[in-house]
Amino acid sequence: MSANSKTASKQIYQIKVTLRGSKPPIWRRLLVSEAVSLFTLHEIIQIAMGWTDSHMHQFIIAGEYYSTPSPDDLEPVIDERRHRLGHVAPAEKDKFIYEYDFGDSWEHDVVVEKIIPPEQGAKYPVCITGKRACPPEDVGGVWGYETFLAAMKDPDHEEHESYKEWWGMEFHPEALDLDDINEALQDVK
């Protein structure tokens, strides 16, 4: 294999990850290697969105379920560690679902927006833009998040004190710190 074909095989995917049902939308735009495994993509999405990787997850791609197999699985899954992003989504406009926390059911639409050559000297993965803070873990899905936001904003809301005590600090739904995200992404192998 020549050096040129080796370089050509490591294209960079610009993907957009959007939390389904979030209004206004919560999303991240990422640049990742086509060679990342789905397991590594899971790690990248966790960091970029602000999740804590405390729950189970899966990818749903063309009707197939990808995750890390476990003896506790009710249905068999395809081993996400053995499949690369470029294999399961080989073209621009390809779409799939990333689901995190089956109880809260945080579903994310993942869209391949562009496939581009790597930039010389650039480090991947990287989050290039996004909007809004990630909802807190265990808040009850999109609907629970809406209640959480309303309660945190309104001191007269019947659940204000319990949410404030549970969360322990102010919550800024518009906050997004790309520097923090990208610093954490540097540790992804």
pLDDT score of 5 more than 60: no
pLDDT tens-digit readout, 144-162 = 999 999 999 999 999 999 9
Confidence of residue 189 (pLDDT cuts 50, 70, 90): confident
- The Cα-based distances of 109 to 2, 16, 20, 184 in angstroms read 36, 8, 6, 22
Higher pLDDT, 58 or 74: 58
User: Are 188 and 125 a contacting pair, CB within 8 Å?
Assistant: yes
List of residues 6+ apart from 38 with CB closer than 8 A = 59, 66, 80, 81, 83, 84, 85, 88
Domain architecture of the chain: domains with CATH: 3-132+176-185 (3.10.290.30), 134-173 (no CATH)
Average pLDDT over residues 2-11: 51
User: Are 70 and 123 a contacting pair, CB within 8 Å?
Assistant: no
User: Are 126 and 182 a contacting pair, CB within 8 Å?
Assistant: yes
